[in-house]
């Protein structure tokens, strides 16, 4: 977790008092005072894998782009194919600088034909926004007929949105217990047009929540509140949702979700469980497996599929692929062979059985069974096949600890 030299300068989400009432331990993260855990990391981790966990991610940046040229602008700004997103769908991608280095990883949701939501990392929000504004004025991207807004600012008024995440197998029944109008905000009588019309007008083809596919997004009424619900998340769960709601309503929504899910084992979860869950799923974290001290890119971590080589142009394209051709390491997941070992920190060297340096640890956390699970950049010559033994020294003078490369995601029992 990041440290802030001036705790008094930390921002607070609208859920800060709610977290304190629930007994959360708060820590600085991304410029905000955020809950790291409520009970224990292991208990919250297991709650997500067996029931569901509720996460405050209202610190994340949320923007929107609207207009006939919104897709054209976003497609040039990002690495993935924005024109491939259908209404009611979403897409993962990256922002790169002109030299092909990773600025951030983002999600883009297409909620209407000419209306997109964009979610960026909290710690990068201000920098991403400033960089995007600069790019919008460049000769290559100075386009008419679109608008870009920051939906966390007061100026966005009734359209303001923040994000909370409900992740785990019990999340769907919890949401269904609170849903209104069969997963829609409004009635079918508002329109009978089945084309890609504005969701503000409620097209009759809007999919119900129970049939929402992976990466899909739908407008809904949840606990009486207008929201967008997307089947996305950062935990590796196939059943998990992110809910976009006006910040004035996020406390009411949070409380309604916990109350509805109490009998199903739903628990509030902090940043530590969010970290251990994403490590278990092999998902990157900006500053660890993306950018950071190792200047990591999608091609380092097996996420090259989100960078489309067939696109004629996007910012940083040529430089990115030139860097990719020279890559000498790739990301692998590992698991410690015994419990009770001190977790290796980011930057801890990894060696082979002969003591030769072969890589470096990027992240490590406890998994659902109490073992340490981590991610490391390993030399391509190692191979990093499932079961490969690797070693590291958690602290100076300590004996080497042995871990095993684990390429397969450990599924729920």
Confidence of residue 408 (pLDDT cuts 50, 70, 90): low
pLDDT tens, 281-303? 999 999 999 999 999 999 999 99
Mean residue pLDDT of the chain comes to 90
Q: Residue 153 corresponds to which tokens in the numbers above?
A: 């600012």
Confidence of residue 399 (pLDDT cuts 50, 70, 90): confident
Whether residue 187 has pLDDT greater than 60: no
CATH superfamily to which 328-413 belongs: Aminomethyltransferase beta-barrel domains (2.40.30.110)
pLDDT tens, 167-178? 999 999 999 999
Per-residue confidence (pLDDT) for residue 9, from 0 to 100: 83
Per-residue confidence (pLDDT) for residue 282, from 0 to 100: 92
Whether residue 7 has pLDDT greater than 80: no
pLDDT tens, 125-168? 999 999 999 999 999 899 999 999 999 999 999 999 999 999 99
Whether residue 197 has pLDDT greater than 60: no
Per-residue confidence (pLDDT) for residue 6, from 0 to 100: 58
pLDDT tens, 258-274? 999 999 999 999 999 99
Q: Residue 267 corresponds to which tokens in the numbers above?
A: 């628990």
Per-residue confidence (pLDDT) for residue 118, from 0 to 100: 98
CATH for the stretch 1-327: 3.30.1360.120
Beta strand 357-366 with 32-37 is unpaired
Name the residue ranges covered by the structural domains of the chain. Answer: 1-327, 328-413
Residues 27-32, mean pLDDT to the nearest whole number? 94
Confidence of residue 409 (pLDDT cuts 50, 70, 90): low
The three-state (H, E, C) secondary structure of 28-58, written as one string? EECCEEEEEECCCHHHHHHHHHHCCEEEECC
How many degrees, rounded to 5, is the angle at CA 313 between CA 307 and CA 317?
Answer: 50
The answer to whether the 1-327 and 328-413 domains have the same CATH topology is no
The three-state (H, E, C) secondary structure of 385-407, written as one string? CCCCEEEECCCCCCCCEEEEECC
């Amino acid at each position: 977790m990041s440290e802030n030299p001036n705790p008094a300068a930390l921002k607070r989400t609208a859920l800060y008092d709610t977290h304190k009432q629930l007994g959360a331990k708060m820590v600085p993260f991304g410029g905000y005072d955020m809950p790291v855990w409520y009970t224990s990391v292991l208990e919250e981790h297991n709650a997500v894998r067996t029931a569901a966990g509720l996460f405050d991610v209202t610190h994340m940046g949320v923007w929107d782009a609207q207009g006939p040229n919104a897709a054209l602008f976003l497609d040039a700004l990002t690495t993935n194919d924005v024109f491939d997103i259908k209404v009611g769908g979403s897409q993962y991608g990256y922002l790169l600088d002109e030299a092909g280095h990773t600025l951030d990883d983002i999600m883009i949701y297409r909620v209407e034909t000419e209306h997109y939501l964009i979610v960026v990392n909290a710690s990068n929000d201000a920098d991403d926004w400033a960089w995007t504004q600069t790019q919008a004025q460049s000769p290559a991207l100075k386009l008419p007929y679109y608008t870009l807004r920051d939906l966390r600012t007061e100026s966005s008024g009734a359209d303001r949105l923040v994000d909370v995440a409900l992740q785990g197998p019990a999340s769907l029944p919890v949401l269904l217990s609170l849903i209104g109008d069969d997963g829609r905000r409004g009635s079918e009588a508002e329109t009978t047009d089945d084309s890609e019309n504005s969701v503000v007008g409620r097209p009759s083809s809007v999919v119900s929540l129970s049939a929402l596919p992976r990466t899909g997004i739908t407008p809904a009424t949840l606990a009486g509140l207008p929201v967008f619900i997307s089947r996305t998340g950062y935990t590796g769960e196939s059943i998990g949702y992110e809910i976009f709601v006006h910040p004035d309503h996020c406390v009411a929504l949070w409380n309604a979700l916990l109350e509805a899910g109490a009998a199903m084992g739903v628990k509030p979860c902090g940043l530590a469980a969010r970290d251990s869950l994403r490590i278990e799923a092999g998902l990157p974290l900006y500053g660890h497996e993306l950018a950071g001290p190792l200047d990591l890119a999608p091609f380092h971590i097996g996420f090259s599929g989100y960078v489309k080589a067939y696109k004629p142009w996007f910012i940083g394209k040529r430089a990115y692929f030139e860097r990719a051709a020279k890559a000498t390491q790739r990301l692998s997941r590992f698991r410690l062979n015994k419990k009770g070992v001190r977790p290796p920190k980011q930057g801890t060297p990894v060696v082979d059985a002969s003591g030769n340096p072969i890589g470096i640890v990027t992240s490590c956390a406890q998994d659902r069974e109490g073992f340490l699970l981590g991610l490391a950049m390993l030399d391509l010559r190692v191979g990093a096949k499932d079961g490969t033994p690797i070693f590291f020294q958690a602290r100076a003078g300590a004996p080497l600890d042995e871990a095993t490369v684990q390429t397969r995601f450990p599924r729920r029992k």
